Amino acid sequence: RTMSRTIITHGSTQMMVGAMLFMGGETLHYFAMALTIGILFSIYSSVLVASPILMWLGVSREDFIKPEKVEAEEVLP
């Protein structure tokens, strides 16, 4: 799920930046190029750097799930 979310997020962002790159004119051209480079580096960082580091540290999905609260039974006097 994480990989598909990463690809969808970066893909939709890149489509908007691509529109700025091709239709924005000369003014937005270099700004859109800088954003494209940033998006590529963020994909690299999130997929190829952060994931292996989390695996190396032994962090799993269960570590992020909050435990369910156990409701105490009412004690009647």
Question: Which of 53, 14, 71, 66 has the alpha carbon at shortest distance from 37?
Answer: 14
Cα→Cα distances 48→43, 55, 77, Å? 8, 11, 60
Residue 10 belongs to domain spanning? 2-60
In a domain, 56, yes or no: yes
Residue 63, CB-side half-sphere exposure with 13 Å CA sphere = 6
How many domains does the chain fold into?
1
Where are the extended beta strands (E) located within the chain? none
Mean pLDDT by 10 residues, the chain (77 residues): 79 92 89 92 82 82 76 66
In a domain, 75, yes or no: no
pLDDT at 7: 81
In a domain, 66, yes or no: no
In a domain, 22, yes or no: yes
